Amino acid sequence: MDFLTPTQPTPLQELHDEVVRKAGVRLLIKRDDLIHPVVSGNKWRKLKYNLVRARELGYNTLVTFGGAYSNHLFALAAAGSVADFSTIGIVRGDELTPQSSPTLQYCQEQGMQLHFVSREEYRHKDEGALVASLLGQHRNIFVVPEGGSNELALPGVREMVQEVEAQLIGQPDYFAVAAGTGGTTAGILSALAPVLAFSALKGGGFLREEINTLVGKEALTAHLQLITNYHFGGYARYTSELLDFIRGFEQQHQIPLEQVYTGKMLFGLYDLMRKGYFTPGSTLVAVHTGGLQGRLASLNQVD
């Protein structure tokens, strides 16, 4: 499959269980984890029009940024090799090597050229300056920001919303989505759809500003409810309570989750359903944003 050709709509699957029944809501899950064998979920949606633009403008190399476990870095390396772009990854942490994580190993295997920079430098330089200092000013490279969250990410995410609206024959009362940089949330808002965004990071309040900046029109964020108390200690942190929830959900619904994003979002959503947060009769669409490459192996062990 060429990365740049249209895909079939991903399944929209209804979930039935005790919590959903008691809350009196309709819960569906948008299976964007199935959108592509390697470039999964929201990363595919966000990269799509970045790659289209890069190709239109005649670029043959993509550069981006991320940490050792970044799903975005992984997705861009995969997308580049599928769509025939060279790729460069600028990685946070100069103590790292390509062997430091399965993600980095995979990126290198896809042909991504990796540059490791100190956390200091990564934090303090803007992305353009980092690229220039590492690669020189005049290279023919298309820069995709960290997380892939730029203006070009929005139309791809809007296509997901349009798919759901066609599948449901209407708009849900809420989309529920996990948020890291807020790009996916912004994309849904840009389709004028209401969103419940669950921050995967501690102190996720800053996301409102990021999302505002991306969507452009302040008014649109009136549709946003930002939920910041299901971070489980911070980005990529987890607890046994979270892992138990994921195992239970997977067993009941036969849908795999992971502990960084989708597990936290669904934990939060189920908690809110239990607490009577939603008006009975509401329709909720949880977006499965993928990311299963980062799923903990220990989730397979039942204890």
Ligand X SMILES: *Cc1c(COP(=O)(O)O)cnc(C)c1O
* Out of 145, 147, 156, 263, the residue judged to bind ligand X by CB under 6 A: 147
Q: Which helix (H) or strand (E) holds 274?
A: helix 262-274
Per-residue string for binding with ligand X, 53-72, x by CB under 6 A? ------------------xx
* Out of 41, 67, 80, 156, the residue judged to bind ligand X by CB under 6 A: 41
CA angle 260, 246, 226 (to 5 degrees): 50
Q: Which helix (H) or strand (E) holds 47?
A: helix 41-56
Look-up: residue for tokens 């329709």?
283
Residue whose CB is less far from ligand X, 89 or 183? 183
Per-residue string for binding with ligand X, 203-222, x by CB under 6 A? --------------------
* Out of 10, 101, 103, 149, the residue judged to bind ligand X by CB under 6 A: 149
Which two structure tokens, joined as six digits, stand for 185? 């949330």
- Closest approach of ligand X to the CB of residue 183, in Å: 3
Residue whose CB is less far from ligand X, 23 or 144? 144
* Out of 80, 180, 263, 268, the residue judged to bind ligand X by CB under 6 A: 180
User: In sequence order, which residues have a C-beta less than 8 Å from that of residue 211 and are 6 or more positions away?
Assistant: 179, 182, 185, 186, 189, 197, 221, 224, 226
Torsion of CA 11, 14, 17, 20, to 10 degrees: 120
Angstrom distance (rounded) from CA 148 to CA 109 = 21
Size of the site for ligand X (CB under 6 A): 20
Interacting positions 266-295 with ligand X (CB under 6 A): 289-291
Q: Which of 258, 251, 247, 253 is nearest to 27 (CA)?
A: 253
Angstrom distance (rounded) from CA 159 to CA 193 = 12
Residue whose CB is less far from ligand X, 87 or 259? 259
Q: Which of 282, 283, 232, 217 is nearest to 262 (CA)?
A: 232
Residue whose CB is less far from ligand X, 23 or 249? 249
Q: At what angle do helices 102-109 and 71-83 cross, to 10 degrees?
A: 10
Binding segment (CB under 6 A) for ligand X, from list 7-15, 38-46, 61-69, 90-98: 38-46
Active site residues: 70
Binding segment (CB under 6 A) for ligand X, from list 5-13, 39-47, 84-92, 277-285: 39-47
Does position 50 interact with ligand X (CB under 6 A)? The reply is: no
Q: Which of 124, 114, 121 is nearest to 90 (CA)?
A: 114
Residue least distant from ligand X (Cβ): 291
* Out of 107, 178, 226, 227, the residue judged to bind ligand X by CB under 6 A: 178
* Out of 64, 184, 228, 259, the residue judged to bind ligand X by CB under 6 A: 184
CB 116 within 8 A of CB 93: yes
- Closest approach of ligand X to the CB of residue 139, in Å: 26
DSSP codes, 78-140: HHHHHHT-EEEEEEE-TT--TTSSHHHHHHHHTT-EEEEE-HHHHHHS-HHHHHHHHH-TT--
Residue whose CB is less far from ligand X, 89 or 180? 180
Per-residue string for binding with ligand X, 233-272, x by CB under 6 A? ----------------------------xx----------
- Closest approach of ligand X to the CB of residue 137, in Å: 29
The amino acid present at 248, given as its one-letter code, is G
Does position 42 interact with ligand X (CB under 6 A)? The reply is: yes
Q: Which residues bind ligand X (CB under 6 A)?
A: 41-43, 71-72, 147, 149, 178-185, 261-262, 289-291
